[in-house]
Amino acid sequence: MMSHGRPTSLWQRLHIDLPLLLGLLSLLGVSLVVLYSASGMHPEMLVRQIIRTSLAFAVMIGLAQLPPSFYSRWAPPVFALGVVLLICVLAFGHIGKGAQRWLDLGVIKFQPSEILKLVMPMTIAAYLSSHPLPPRFKHLVIALVMVLVPTLLIAKQPDLGTAILVAVSGIFAIFLGGISWALILAAGALVAAFLPVLWFFLMHDYQRQRVLTFLNPESDPLGSGYHIIQSKIAIGSGGLFGKGWLNGTQSQLEFLPERHTDFIFAVFSEEFGLIGFCLLLALYLYVIARCMIISVNAQGSFERLLGGALTLTFFVYVFVNIGMVSGLLPVVGVPLPLVSYGGTSMVTLAAGFGILMSIQTHRRLLA
Amino acid sequence: MLKQRISIKDNGAEAALFYRRALVAGIGMALLSCLLLANLYWLQVVNHDTYQTRSNDNRIKVVPVAPPRGLIFDRNGVLLAENRPVFSLEIVPDQTQDLHGMVKQLIQLLDLDPSTEEQFYREVKRTRRFNPVPLVEQLTDEQVARFSVNQHRFPGADIEAYLKRFYPYGETLTHALGYVARINVKDLQRLDEAGKLANYAATRDIGKLGVEKYYEDQLHGQAGYQEVEVNNRGRVIRTLKYQPPVAGQDIYLNVDIRLQQKAQQLLAGRRGGIVLMDPRDGSVLALESSPSYDPNLFVRGISSRDYSALLNDPARPLINRTSQGGYAPASTVKPLLSIMGLNEGLITPQTRFFGGPTFQIPGVARKWRDWKRWGHGWMDMHRAIEVSADTFFYDLAFRAGIDTLHDYMSRFGFGNYSGLDIYEESTGIMPSRQWKQSRWRQPWYQGDTISVGIGQGYWTATPIQLARAHSILTQHGRNIVPHLLRSVGAPDGEQTPYRVTQEPALTVKNDGFWQEAMEGMYLVLNGPEGTARRAFAGTPYKAAGKSGTAQVVNMKENEKYDASRLKEEHRDNALFVAFAPYEEPTAVVAMILENAGGGSANAAPVARALLDAYLLGKYDDEPAPEEKKP
Strands (E) in B358-475, as ranges, are: 358-360, 367-369, 377-379
pLDDT band at B95 (very low <50, low <70, confident <90, very high): confident
Q: Could you tell me the CA-to-CA distances from A1 to A61, A172, A198, A311 in Å, in that order?
A: 20, 24, 44, 17
Residue B331 appears among annotated catalytic residues: yes
- Strand A94-96, strand B157-166: pairing: unpaired
Summarize the confidence of residues B473-487 as an average pLDDT: 92
Rounded-to-integer distance, Cα B577 and Cα B590, Å: 4
- Those residues whose C-beta lies under 8 Å from the C-beta of residue B351, and which sit 6 or more positions away, are B380, B381
Rounded-to-integer distance, Cα B462 and Cα B328, Å: 8
Q: In the CATH hierarchy, which top-level class contains the domain B71-253?
A: alpha beta
Q: Could you tell me the CA-to-CA distances from B1 to A136, A185, A365, B7, B219 in Å, in that order?
A: 10, 20, 33, 11, 99
pLDDT for residue A104: 58
Which parts of A39-136 fold into alpha helices (H)?
A: 43-65, 68-92, 112-129
Rounded-to-integer distance, Cα B427 and Cα B405, Å: 17
Q: Rounded to the nearest 10 degrees, what angle do helices A18-38 and A343-361 cross at?
A: 170
Total H helices, total E strands in chain B: 22, 21
Is A121's Cβ below 8 Å from some Cβ in B? no
Q: How many CB pairs under 8 A join A and B?
A: 144
Interface-testing mutation among A133, A290, A312, with chain B (most B C-beta atoms within 10 A): A133
Q: Model-level pTM greater than 0.90?
A: no
Q: Yes or no: say if B295 and B177 are a contact pair by the CB < 8 Å rule.
A: yes
Domain boundaries defined on chain B: 71-253, 257-306+323-616
Residue in A113, A136, A125, A117 with CA at minimum distance from that of residue A76:
A125
ipTM computed for the complex: 0.90
- Quick check: B233 and A236 CB within 8 A? no
* Bridge partner residues of B379 (DSSP): B353
Number of Cβ atoms within 10 Å of the Cβ of A177: 28
- Quick check: B52 and A239 CB within 8 A? yes
pLDDT for residue B630: 39
- Per DSSP, the residues of A62-85 read HHHHS-HHHHHHHHHHHHHHHHHH
* Bridge partner residues of A102 (DSSP): A94
Closest chain B residue to A317 measured between Cα atoms?
A: B29
Least reliable range by pLDDT among A109-123, A276-290, A348-362 = A109-123
Determine which helix (DSSP H) or strand (DSSP E) holds B85, and give its type and residue range.
strand B79-91
Which parts of B60-169 fold into alpha helices (H)?
A: 99-109, 115-126, 141-150
Choosing from B290, B292, B323, B331, the catalytic residue is: B331
- Give backbone dihedrals phi and psi of A21, rounded to 5 degrees, phi first: -60, -45
Q: Yes or no: say if A85 and A150 are a contact pair by the CB < 8 Å rule.
A: no
- Per DSSP, the residues of A237-254 read HHTTT-S-TT--HHHHTT
pLDDT tens readout for residues B507-525? 999 999 999 999 999 999 9
Interface-testing mutation among A214, A233, A268, A313, with chain B (most B C-beta atoms within 10 A): A233
- Quick check: B21 and A277 CB within 8 A? no
* Bridge partner residues of B161 (DSSP): B87
- Quick check: A249 and B59 CB within 8 A? yes
pLDDT for residue A2: 47
Summarize the confidence of residues B290-304 as an average pLDDT: 88
pLDDT tens readout for residues B356-367? 899 998 888 888
pLDDT for residue A3: 47
pLDDT for residue B352: 92
- pLDDT of B280 over the 60 cut: yes
Q: Cα torsion at B514, B519, B520, B522 (round to 10°)?
A: 130
Q: In the CATH hierarchy, which top-level class contains the domain B257-306+323-616?
A: alpha beta
Rounded-to-integer distance, Cα B487 and Cα B253, Å: 7
Q: Could you tell me the CA-to-CA distances from B465 to B93, B455, B575 in Å, in that order?
A: 54, 13, 13
Is A278's Cβ below 8 Å from some Cβ in B? yes
- Give backbone dihedrals phi and psi of A220, rounded to 5 degrees, phi first: -145, 70
Closest chain A residue to B22 measured between Cα atoms?
A: A176
pLDDT tens readout for residues B406-461? 999 999 999 999 999 999 999 999 999 999 999 999 999 988 999 999 999 999 99
Summarize the confidence of residues B592-604 as an average pLDDT: 90
Summary mean pLDDT of chain A:
85
